[in-house]
Every structure is written in structure tokens, then in C-alpha cells.
């Protein structure tokens, strides 16, 4: 018999009312002080201010209007231990349009375990009704083509054509630098999801 | 940042697969391509210390009172408590647990819930707490009611409490649901049945804990949570051990 350890608690869907517990104001609950967790960068945090925006699409091409996204990223210097920059954000899809957005800074490059460098990226988790265990993906930046080409995580995706599903497209929106990142849960242009 | 070991692979046989047609919404929300297995980077092995800005409110873990409009929530008063451990049975201290649930009649306080059972004016249905140094947590609430949902005709969810845990690393992140011992709706539920292994389902069932009741006030349920374990880094400069 192999050595036995405790087993991880199984996942279940977050369900359609996930906002009650995670973003109460979105559910219509005035329980707590208003937390705007989709804004990561405030005050004098260094780095280029950016907006990440997109829609999560289902396999029939319809927006997932009850999705909850969580974002985790390094600061502009590529660090995860900056006390002035939490690196964590949470955003709900809009109930009418499905659009989500984060206001943050562009992260710096991070070291990889063998000394190589990872291209700037943000980690994203997607939770929703109908998603039994959350999906883990990454968004890279379209203006970092050289770094992206050398990124060890992107290179581990066997089908090179799928790597582009992880690149957010740079543009501007209301004068703000915006990266558009749509997530396709299923079918054509299906986003790469990781088992990390 | 200290160099730390990798986390165990997630045993996906313990978890529901993405595509579970008995739960209809999963059909169009399940990826068709396989997940891409990757090594854990420094980012994934770190995680947010998500203590909400301004800290926790003293009533955040008391759902009987934290939405009070002058009274207390109606329903079966219970305490839910337990420990958060990793797969090596080490406690996970100071981690945030968030919970949400319907009221005693199965109605959610959410703008999208239109079930005909009434709202309870003194019940919001959201709470949170931090584990202590031993990984222990507790909250006080009322037992939620079952509620009907549009799946295969009118299916009924068992009484359940949603919970969300951060752990110490982004790879430990987990959202799941707590069920109650003896509830005959559990084996009928298409969402419960997304989990193929009955032993794994059993780990989501909180046990009645008479020893921890609050006499003449509230019954207690015990619910332990296990997150992925962090391994040692053999053959590297070891800065932490177990």
C-alpha cells in the first residue's frame, strides 16, 4: 500500500448566487462596507495603469453573465510581496452584458524555477454556475511578443496555435490603456486552461 | 520570498469533472480540450493574504445577527465549526473562509433569486472568518432550507452552505458546498452527483456534533476542510520543514 494522506476536499460549483458571499454589493446586499475588489491599483502604486476587460463565453457563444473572476499578479517590479499592492482582485461579470474589468498595473517579469524568465502575465480563476471546479488560466500582453515567445509556460502548450488564446490585446478605452481578454470556455478558440 | 516546495498535484478523481450532463448548465460551460499540465511558478505557489480592507467585523461570522434589522434570523440555530488542514494534516492558520447560503425557507437574498419563499428581514446569508493558529474556525447561522431549481424539471438542492477558502497559495484556492448529515436530498442532487466518488461526497457532509452544542441556544455541526499539501523541497536549500 502506498503512503496515504488526507484527501483534498472536493470542489463544487460556486452557483448563481456566488456574489452573496464574495461580492455582496453585486448581489444587492448592503451588508458590509463597499469593497471594490476589481480595483487593485490606487494612490501612488508604481507601474503603468491598465484596465483588463473582457467577456467569458460559453460553448454556444453566449456570455456567461454570472461568472466570477479572480486575478492574482505580481507588482510592476515582478514581486508578490509588496505591502502596498495586494496583487489580488475579484470581479463579477455584468448581469446584462457579461463584461468584466479590473483596474490594475502591468506586472513585471517573474523568475521561473530554473532561472529562466516568465513573460509578464496575470493569473485568472473563473468560477460560475455550471463550472464544477474553477478554471485556471493566464493572460499575457500583446505588446510583449518577444518575452511571450520565450515564456516557459506558454512554450509548454503543445499546440502553438492555442497560445494566442492567452494574449490580451492592447488598446485604449476612455484614455485608459486597456487589454481585451475574452475567455472561451468551450469550442472554437477555446481558451487554454491549466492544471497547475 | 523564501523558496518553498511545490504543492501536490490535484487528484482530479476526487473532484467533479467539468462535463457532467446531469447538471445541465455544465454542458456548455465545460472545456472540450484537456487541461494543460504545467509546473508551479513562484506566483502560483504564493497567494493573496486577503484580509478585507479594514479587517473583519466582529459579527462577520454571526449570520444570525449580521443582517439584523432589529431582530434575529428565524430558523434552526446552529454553529458550524471545524479545522482547515492540508493533505499532510498540518493546520492552515489565518486563512479566510467565506460562506453564503439561503435562509431557513431556501430563499437567497440575491437580486436574481425569485423563488416564492419569502426573504427573512433579519437574514442576509453572508459571513466570513479567519482560521486561528491551529486552523480552527467557526460561524453561527441558521440551517438553510432546500430550494427548487430548474434542471430536470424541478430538482431540489439539499440544505447546503457554500464556502470559499484561500489557503496559503493560489493553487490551494477552493470553492465548494457543505451538506448536512442525514439529508435524504443529498443522493438525489445532480450537483452533488457531479462528484463520481461516494467517499468524496461524504467528505462534504458536516456531522452533527452534540458535544459542541450551545445548550439551550444552538446545535453544532463539524466540518473539516482539507487543502492541497505543500511538499518539502528535497535536494534544495531547505528553509522550512515539517
- pTM passes above 0.90: yes
CATH (domain of B86): 2.60.130.10
Percent of chain A with pLDDT over 70: 98
Query: Which pLDDT value is given to residue B2?
Result: 47
Q: How far is B30 from chain A (nearest CA, A)?
A: 6
Question: Does some domain include residue B13?
Answer: no
How much is the pLDDT for B234?
Answer: 67
Q: How confident is the model at residue B238 (pLDDT cuts 50, 70, 90)?
A: very low
CB contact under 8 A, A194 and B18: no
Contact A195 B37 (CB under 8 A): yes
Q: How many domains does chain B have?
A: 1
Q: Indicate whether this complex's ipTM tops 0.85.
A: yes
Is B162 noted as a catalytic residue in this protein?
yes
Q: Is B56 an interface residue toward A (CB < 8 Å)?
A: no
Q: Is B9 a catalytic residue?
A: no
pLDDT digits (tens, 9 = 90+) for A58-105: 999 999 999 999 999 999 999 998 888 989 999 999 999 999 999 999
pLDDT of residue A1: 82
Residue B161 within a domain:
yes
- Structural domains of chain A sorted by starting position, each given as residue range(s) with its CATH number in brackets: 18-27+47-184 (2.60.130.10)
Which triple of cell numbers denotes residue B220?
Answer: 453544532
- Note the pLDDT of residue B235: 61
Residue B20 near chain A (CB below 8 Å): yes
What is the percent of chain B with per-residue pLDDT over 70, rounded to a whole number?
A: 94
Range of the domain at B95: 55-227
Rounded alpha-carbon distances, angstroms, from residue B52 to A8, A66, B130, B142, B197: 26, 23, 11, 24, 35
- The pLDDT tens digits of the residues spanning B96-144 come to 999 999 999 999 999 999 999 999 999 999 999 999 999 999 999 999 9
Distance from CA of B34 to the nearest CA of A (A): 8
Active site residue B15: no
Picking from A38, A102, A101, A111, the residue whose alpha carbon sits closest to that of residue A77 is A111
Task: List CB contacts of B97: < 8 A, sequence separation 6 or more.
Answer: B84, B128, B129, B130, B131, B137, B139, B163, B164, B165, B225
Query: Does the annotation count B228 as an active-site position?
Result: no
Contact (CB<8Å) B174/A9: yes
Q: How many CA atoms lie within 13 Å of B198's alpha carbon, on the beta-carbon side?
A: 3
Among partner residues A9, A81, A193, which is closest to B176 by beta-carbon distance?
A9
As given in the structure block, the three cell numbers for residue A139 are 493572460
Q: Which of A3, A4, A6, A8 to mutate to test the interface with B (most CBs of B within 10 A)?
A: A8
The answer, for B106 touching chain A at a CB cutoff of 8 Å, is no
Amino acid at each position: 500500500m502506498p503512503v496515504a494522506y488526507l484527501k483534498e476536499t472536493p470542489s463544487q460549483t460556486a452557483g448563481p448566487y456566488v456574489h452573496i458571499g464574495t461580492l455582496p454589493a453585486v448581489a444587492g446586499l448592503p451588508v458590509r462596507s463597499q469593497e471594490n475588489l476589481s480595483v487593485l491599483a490606487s494612490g501612488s502604486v508604481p507601474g503603468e495603469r491598465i484596465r483588463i476587460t473582457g467577456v467569458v463565453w460559453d460553448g454556444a457563444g453566449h456570455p456567461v453573465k454570472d461568472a466570477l473572476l479572480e486575478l492574482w499578479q505580481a507588482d510592476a517590479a515582478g514581486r508578490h510581496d509588496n505591502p502596498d499592492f495586494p496583487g489580488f482582485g475579484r470581479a463579477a461579470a455584468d448581469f446584462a452584458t457579461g463584461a468584466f474589468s479590473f483596474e490594475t498595473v502591468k506586472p513585471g517579469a517573474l523568475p521561473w524555477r530554473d532561472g529562466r524568465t516568465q513573460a509578464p502575465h496575470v493569473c485568472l480563476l473563473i468560477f460560475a454556475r455550471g463550472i464544477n471546479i474553477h478554471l485556471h488560466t493566464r493572460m499575457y500582453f500583446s505588446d510583449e511578443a518577444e518575452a511571450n515567445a520565450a515564456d516557459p509556460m506558454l512554450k509548454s502548450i503543445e499546440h502553438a496555435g492555442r497560445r494566442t488564446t492567452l494574449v490580451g490585446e492592447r488598446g485604449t478605452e476612455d484614455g485608459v490603456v486597456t487589454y481585451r481578454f475574452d475567455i472561451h470556455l468551450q469550442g472554437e478558440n477555446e481558451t487554454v486552461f491549466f492544471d497547475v | 520570498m523564501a523558496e518553498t516546495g511545490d504543492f501536490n498535484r490535484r487528484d482530479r478523481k476526487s473532484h467533479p469533472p467539468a462535463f457532467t450532463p446531469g447538471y445541465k448548465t455544465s454542458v456548455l460551460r465545460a472545456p472540450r480540450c484537456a487541461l494543460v499540465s504545467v509546473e508551479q511558478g513562484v506566483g502560483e505557489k504564493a497567494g493573496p493574504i486577503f484580509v478585507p480592507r479594514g479587517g473583519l467585523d466582529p459579527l462577520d461570522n454571526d449570520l444570525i445577527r449580521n443582517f439584523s434589522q432589529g431582530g434575529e434570523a428565524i430558523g434552526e440555530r446552529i454553529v458550524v465549526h471545524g479545522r482547515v488542514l492540508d493533505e499532510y494534516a498540518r493546520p492552515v492558520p489565518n486563512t479566510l473562509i467565506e460562506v453564503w447560503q439561503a435562509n431557513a425557507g431556501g430563499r437567497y437574498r440575491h437580486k436574481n433569486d425569485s423563488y416564492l419563499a419569502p426573504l427573512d428581514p433579519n437574514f442576509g446569508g453572508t459571513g466570513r472568518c479567519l482560521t486561528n493558529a491551529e486552523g480552527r474556525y467557526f460561524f453561527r447561522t441558521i440551517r438553510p432550507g432546500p430550494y427548487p431549481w430548474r434542471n430536470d424539471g424541478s430538482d431540489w438542492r439539499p440544505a447546503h452552505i457554500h464556502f470559499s477558502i484561500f489557503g496559503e497559495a493560489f493553487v490551494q484556492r477552493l470553492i465548494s458546498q457543505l451538506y448536512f448529515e442525514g439529508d435524504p436530498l443529498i443522493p438525489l442532487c445532480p450537483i452533488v452527483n457531479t462528484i463520481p466518488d461516494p467517499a468524496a461526497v461524504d467528505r462534504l457532509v458536516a456531522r452533527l456534533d452534540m458535544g459542541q452544542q450551545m445548550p439551550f441556544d444552538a446545535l453544532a455541526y463539524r466540518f473539516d476542510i482539507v487543502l492541497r499539501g505543500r511538499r518539502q523541497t528535497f535536494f534544495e536549500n531547505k528553509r522550512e520543514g515539517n
